[in-house]
Structure 1
Amino acid sequence: MEKQQPPTYTPRVDRPDRADESLRSNQAEKQTSPETADGQPQNHASTPPAPTFQSKFASLSLHQHDRIRLLQFPDSAANTVRQAIQKSWPQGIQDQRHIHNSLELKLKGLPWLGPGSDAMHARRLMRTIFEDLFDAGWVLSLSTDVSKRNRDKDTLIFRQQIPPAKPRDWICVAFSKKDRLRVMDAPEELLDAIYEGIRDVIQEKVSHQMKGVWEVKLRGWPWAAISGDDVMKARGLLLRLFAILESHGFTVYASIDQKADLDSEKGETDTWHCCRPKDWEIGAPVYHW
């Protein structure tokens, strides 16, 4: 009878029990999960990172025939507007008060209604406000008309920009009466370029009583055109003006309705407030907002 061979010996490899696996898993989690001071894991979902940038907005609106209202401007910017009024509006400020969460400045005279030189002083007033707010870091984002009332005017929305942009040169372009083009505080070379560029539609130069205002009388009534052909010729004239302005570094910063005509049958034309960097040179690019 043959003897049976003993079974082949296979070395035993011990496997960790479940308790050991759990211990190692917990240790790994502690190594990869940051803890708070009390030893508890941080919950990132409940503590989003703080925003690093936030814009501040404010509005300036024109009311009745003599009011400016400032909404959400800080005191420093409100003082900037007051100073701009005092140095550019000959009659100054009559009164101020807080109304409907805004600061209302009542001007002497009728800046949004006055004819002739008063209308041009009012345009210089708004140009100065734009310039001084711009230098203080408040840049116009939008001019908008959100009212259906007769003789209403625009609301201007500003955004604070830090640091402020480089200083600009500022001018105004006004479309007055039915046939007048007026340019205020512009350099002589730009005025010469405008005259040469639209000479074919100019009837005559007009001597304006106010210093710094250049005026021409245009052929026909371009700002009161009725026929389709005349209407589109007026639009073509605007394109020519735009190109001439840009060739001298100026872009239209704001086109605003700042005048209330007592005759509701008459339309109201905007005023262009234009600017260019003070260090701009011929041939340099022109950037628009």
Structure 2
Amino acid sequence: MGCTPSVNLEAFESTEQNYFSVQMYGSDRLRLILAPNEINNSTRDVLNAKWSIISEDVQKGFVEFLLGGRPWYSDYNSQIKHFLCSLLQVYYELGWYLKASTDLERQDKETDVLFFQKNRPLKSSIICISLNSSDKIKVLGPKIIYPIIKHSVIKSWYKGIQDEQVFENVYELKLYGNPWNDWLKDSQDYLNCPLLILEIMKDMFKKGWIFVGAIDSSQRQSSLNALYFRKDAEDNEINDLEKTRFFAMSLNKSNIIRLHKADHDLKLLILNPQYGIKSLWKSG
């Protein structure tokens, strides 16, 4: 299969594994590492329903699917995110929860590697909120979500909404300004971005949608992480915001840490001279 490595993970495969990883490799490959057979089979089923599989390479503890087109470097942005929503939903139903999503290579054009941990099976709905261009939010989910996101933006984005439209089962908001441009680190737009995302997360949580993770599934240098949320079918309760705190921490320039919407006691905890930042960073 060309770029497919020769691997042998038999030593790992022979022991009970509670973790596996998914790698979106190159522009057209999906790799499963130490995934159980049920995950290999379910992933194949989702791919066949959402995409086209050109070929498949199976080795000990390793499966690679070569996909048609260039899904990780293409204009199929929404289609890929719909696929990931379906994949995450199936994984949760099988009891595999997303625990981490991270870039493991020092390259600009790399997608994230996803890590899953074994847990109890959970029937959930998965939706995606995608940040696009320099000023757009796309919502891939049921129509009942649309007013929640719109209300969050109206409350937290001081410049307001320029336009909104629905196309191909995607709800798109175009904002005034350029919230996703980071060329001016101390601009008002940049400082308000964490507040905007926090408001979306809070309002979604209040309606029963729990944040799952942020995933970058595109190799384009201008790509941004998409936010994924789940709502459990067995949980009909509305989450209580009074018992849950939300805040954001951003690492800025080369030496600045910013806390957004952090409670006073949390700030004191972080600044505590005995076990806060001051105790860990001796340079002051």
- The question of a shared fold, defined as TM-score above 0.5 by the shorter chain, is answered with yes
Q: Secondary structure at the match of 1:80?
A: helix
Which residue pairs with 1:222 in the alignment? 179
Q: What CA distance in whole angstroms lies between the structure 1 residues aligned with 2:182 and 2:60? A: 40
1:140 pairs with 2:98: yes
The Cα shift of 1:282 comes to 5.0
Q: Secondary structure at the match of 2:138?
A: strand
Q: What CA distance in whole angstroms lies between the structure 1 residues aligned with 2:73 and 2:60? A: 24
Q: Secondary structure at the match of 1:223?
A: coil
Q: What CA distance in whole angstroms lies between the structure 1 residues aligned with 2:195 and 2:183? A: 15
Q: Normalized against structure 2, the TM-score is what?
A: 0.72
Could you list the per-position Cα deviations for residues 60-119 of structure 1 after superposition, in whole angstroms to 9, with x for gaps in the alignment? 111011111001112221001111112223xx211111369521101111211122xx11
Which residue pairs with 1:185 in the alignment? 141
Which residue pairs with 1:247 in the alignment? 206
Q: What CA distance in whole angstroms lies between the structure 2 residues aligned with 1:224 and 1:131? A: 31
Q: What CA distance in whole angstroms lies between the structure 2 residues aligned with 1:220 and 1:246? A: 27
Q: What CA distance in whole angstroms lies between the structure 2 residues aligned with 1:170 and 1:187? A: 14
1:85 pairs with 2:33: no
The Cα shift of 1:128 comes to 0.9
Counterparts in 2 of 1:126 and 1:78: CA distance versus 1, 3 Å: same
1:176 pairs with 2:135: no
Q: What CA distance in whole angstroms lies between the structure 1 residues aligned with 2:202 and 2:113? A: 27
1:57 pairs with 2:16: no
Counterparts in 2 of 1:70 and 1:55: CA distance versus 1, 3 Å: closer
Counterparts in 2 of 1:246 and 1:185: CA distance versus 1, 3 Å: same
**Aligned residue type for 2:195:** G
Could you list the per-position Cα deviations for residues 195-251 of structure 1 after superposition, in whole angstroms to 9, with x for gaps in the alignment? 12323521111342x1x2110101111111433122111121111111111121112
Q: Normalized against structure 1, the TM-score is what?
A: 0.71
Q: What CA distance in whole angstroms lies between the structure 1 residues aligned with 2:59 and 2:68? A: 18
Which residue pairs with 2:30 in the alignment? 68
Where structure 2 has 5 or more consecutive residues not aligned to the other structure, the ranges are 1-15, 246-284
Q: Identify, as 1 or 2, the structure richer in strand.
A: 2
Where structure 1 has 5 or more consecutive residues not aligned to the other structure, the ranges are 1-53
Which residue pairs with 2:269 in the alignment? none
Which residue pairs with 2:70 in the alignment? 110
Contact 2:217 2:225 in 1 (8 A): yes
1:116-127 equivalence runs, <5 A: 118-127=76-85
Q: What CA distance in whole angstroms lies between the structure 1 residues aligned with 2:106 and 2:60? A: 20
Contact 2:206 2:240 in 1 (8 A): no
In our comparison, the structure showing a higher alpha carbon Rg is 1
Could you list the per-position Cα deviations for residues 169-211 of structure 1 after superposition, in whole angstroms to 9, with x for gaps in the alignment? 11100001111100002342x2112212323521111342x1x
The Cα shift of 1:280 comes to 3.1
Between the two proteins, the alignment pairs up a number of residues equal to 222
Q: What CA distance in whole angstroms lies between the structure 2 residues aligned with 1:225 and 1:66? A: 29
Which residue pairs with 2:227 in the alignment? 272
Q: What CA distance in whole angstroms lies between the structure 1 residues aligned with 2:193 and 2:110? A: 24
Counterparts in 2 of 1:243 and 1:101: CA distance versus 1, 3 Å: same
Q: Secondary structure at the match of 1:224?
A: coil
